[in-house]
Structure 1
Amino acid sequence: VYDLKNAPIQGMKELNSINKKTLMLFQSYYPEIIYKNIVVNAPFWFYTSQVLFSRFMSQRNKSKFIFARPQRVTPILLKFIAPEHLPAEYGGLRRNNDQDFTPDDKVLEHKVRANSVSRIELPVHETGVTIMWDITVVGWDVSYKEEFIPDDEGSYTVLLQNQNIVGESTRNSFYINEPGRILLTIENGNFKRKKMYYRSKTRVTVPMFILLS
């Protein structure tokens, strides 16, 4: 994957030249090694140069080049990279030096229909733990709300987040001092359905006020 966002023109020209030489080498001697060559956030002139260069490529190798414009980066990358391995800045769930989640933590998929509201419940029956959750919606541009709803009807619902989100994946956590559930609400006001990926886990936590007492 090549990300050419904010890359200087001189640097991209050098990359383009190296890429051509490398591809010609692999095309001639190692045609099976390259699976896909994905270029994201490329400037217009780069596309033009690739059209000219593609005349010297076999049809098989042409199909190995994929160009993703900014609004299509996440859906295209998710076709080849699992969300737990795709960096958050590209719409995935992976973060550098992540101390909360690992690639082994199960990621679930949920489809949000067009012009509809979807709700995901994360029940927590054990107290004295912190629940963490990670969520990304492909393309975002949705209204998103997080709440903690206690099982005890006499307790108050806690609003954790309520906003319109159009960017990267989001992560949050909440300390559980009584049984209940985290409710994630996604309102999709678009004419196209959205695909959502999420995961959650709990860990035993000692409250700060106990540590300080």
Structure 2
Amino acid sequence: MEPCQATTEAVASPKPATKRNLLSSLMEAAAGLQRSSSFKEDSYLACSLKPAEKKALQELKQLLSTSPKAISMWGVPVAPAAADDERADVVLLKFLRARDFDVGEAHAMLLRCAEWRREFGADGVAEEELVGLKEVEGVVAYMHGWDRRGHPVCYNAYGVFKDAAMYERVLGDADKLQRFLRWRVQVMERGIRLLHLRPGGVNSIIQVTDLKDMPKRQLRAASNHILSLFQDNYPEMVARKVGSTAGLPPRCFSSAFILSTMHPSNRRCSSTSPGTSACLIRSNLLCSSSSLLFADADTNSSCHRFIRPEFVPVQYGGLSRPGDLQNGPPKPATEFAIKGGEQVNLEIDGIEVYPQTHTNAMVACLAVMLSQGGATIAWDVAVGGWDVDYGAEFVPSDEGSYTVVVQKTRRIPGGAEEAIHDAFTAKEAGKMVLSIDNTNSRRRKVAAYRYCVRKPSM
């Protein structure tokens, strides 16, 4: 089903200031990645390695073959490693790339990481029950869904620490900070378990950081600890970093940069000017192909798919609600764009009524007194940045019937985040029409919707 569009003339007025949500930031940020011809994720296929890189890999394997202790990283034996174990090649290449294929430095880094993992107990931290951190689980950092290329996505949101009481409970002293760091490592380890760690597979995650209400001064100590910990022990584990800077003034971008780059190695980072629209930084912090996107652009780029809306959490303007991913893949959403000065009508056709069936003869005799069972239509709608008029109505197929106003047209403000979730049970055949009116804006909006029609239970 395609959106049925009716275009009207754009209002000739100055372009208003607009507010953005994370969904629109993600979808617009994708356009920056798609336009960047230089972006290419590192490959772990042997045929793609340069001769010097293959040589470095073999030299590192030779060094590790003399290790007096067995070394395993994320369930992959690397010392000693089987000659034909491609998983070991993936892990070793991460350390080599983190040190620009300097074999000596990569070897030293790997040994330090192995020692830290033994002391920290990193292999078992994913199963631990950490006391006192229930209120940050699923809020501050959590794995949720995948991007279009199959990378697991980790969401980070530090705005909750703007609350002084919350900050004190979680990060108020040295012991609490260490416990929080252990929890943050736990989230990372759980994310790595979702990776394939094999050539041609998914070997890194996506980091999305929501910088809204970020208390940069209070988080400085925690961010420095996490920065140091992850840069030393999780090389090349992040494919891309997306920072939503909605509402942040330019002076905050330096702190935004720190919190968005939680997983660097020790490479040099190229720089750009903050405040640019969809600022793509070709960063060597993670790997030669990693990218950092500050996505708060006032752009009119196409609605490219970076993370599909059904995988973006609902609190960020996506369609994914708590528990949606526990019962298998979610129902896909349809993505579309609404031009400035345009109204889009989304029509859900084929809504029918179903005769009531009865096995009991007495009940069957009374069936004539019962109305037919109507289908229930449920839908989700999200518009990046909103600032539109939205309404919903049911239009019966019978021309003699009246249209039912399900949702009276109302203004959705620009600051709205959560997607609309609604349902309606039809008493007769017809169609639902969801209207999204952008005629009072000159700005193009990205949007998504999905629906399901359920037959009545008999």
- 1:121-140 CA-to-partner distances (Å, cap 9, x unmatched) read 00133213211111101111
Give the Cα–Cα distance (whole angstroms) in 2 for the partners of residues 91 and 30 of structure 1. 31
Please say if 1:88 is aligned against 2:334. no
41-50 vs 3-12, greater mean Cα deviation: 41-50
- TM-fit CA distance, 1:40: 3.9
Give 2:239's match in structure 1, choosing from 18, 25, 35: 35
Conserved 8 A contact 1:5-1:41: no
Partner of 1:191: 442
Paired residue type of 1:120: L
Counterpart secondary structure, 1:134: strand
Conserved 8 A contact 2:324-2:330: no
Please say if 1:58 is aligned against 2:269. yes
- TM-fit CA distance, 1:79: 5.5
Paired residue type of 2:309: P
Partner of 1:132: 378
Counterpart secondary structure, 2:322: coil
Give 1:178's match in structure 2, choosing from 418, 428, 436: 428
Please say if 1:154 is aligned against 2:154. no
Identity of aligned residues (%): 29
Conserved 8 A contact 1:84-1:103: no
- TM-fit CA distance, 1:175: 0.7
Conserved 8 A contact 2:351-2:453: no
Give the Cα–Cα distance (whole angstroms) in 1 for the partners of residues 378 and 257 of structure 2. 46
Give 2:387's match in structure 1, choosing from 131, 141, 144: 141
Decide whether aligned partners of structure 1 residues 172 and 86 sit closer, same or farther in structure 2, where only a CA change above 3 A counts.
same
- TM-fit CA distance, 1:106: 2.4
Conserved 8 A contact 1:120-1:183: yes
Give 2:231's match in structure 1, choosing from 24, 29, 36: 24
Decide whether aligned partners of structure 1 residues 81 and 89 sit closer, same or farther in structure 2, where only a CA change above 3 A counts.
same
Task: Quote the RMSD (CA, aligned, Å).
Answer: 3.4
Counterpart secondary structure, 1:191: coil
Conserved 8 A contact 1:147-1:160: yes
Please say if 1:163 is aligned against 2:317. no
Paired residue type of 1:48: S
Conserved 8 A contact 1:129-1:175: yes
Give the Cα–Cα distance (whole angstroms) in 2 for the partners of residues 58 and 23 of structure 1. 16
Decide whether aligned partners of structure 1 residues 50 and 175 sit closer, same or farther in structure 2, where only a CA change above 3 A counts.
closer
- 1:54-93 CA-to-partner distances (Å, cap 9, x unmatched) read 9974333356333455x88xx9xx8642100101111100
Paired residue type of 1:30: P
Q: Please state which structure has a larger fraction of its residues in helix.
A: 2
Which of structures 1 and 2 has the bigger CA Rg? 2
Counterpart secondary structure, 2:239: coil
Query: TM-score, normalised to structure 1's length?
Result: 0.77
189-198 vs 56-65, greater mean Cα deviation: 56-65
Conserved 8 A contact 2:390-2:412: yes
Decide whether aligned partners of structure 1 residues 200 and 86 sit closer, same or farther in structure 2, where only a CA change above 3 A counts.
same
Please say if 1:204 is aligned against 2:455. yes
Give the Cα–Cα distance (whole angstroms) in 1 for the partners of residues 235 and 442 of structure 2. 45
Q: Please state which structure has a larger fraction of its residues in strand.
A: 1
Paired residue type of 1:121: E
- TM-fit CA distance, 1:23: 4.7
Query: TM-score, normalised to structure 2's length?
Result: 0.38
Matches within 5 A, 1:91-102: 91-98=317-324
Decide whether aligned partners of structure 1 residues 174 and 102 sit closer, same or farther in structure 2, where only a CA change above 3 A counts.
farther
Decide whether aligned partners of structure 1 residues 108 and 46 sit closer, same or farther in structure 2, where only a CA change above 3 A counts.
same
- TM-fit CA distance, 1:111: 1.6
The number of residue pairs the alignment matches comes to 198
Conserved 8 A contact 1:134-1:199: yes
The runs of 5 or more residues in structure 1 that have no matched partner are: 208-213
The runs of 5 or more residues in structure 2 that have no matched partner are: 1-154, 163-214, 271-282, 354-373
Partner of 1:211: none
Partner of 1:114: 340
Give the Cα–Cα distance (whole angstroms) in 2 for the partners of residues 160 and 140 of structure 1. 20
Partner of 1:48: 254
Conserved 8 A contact 2:267-2:284: no
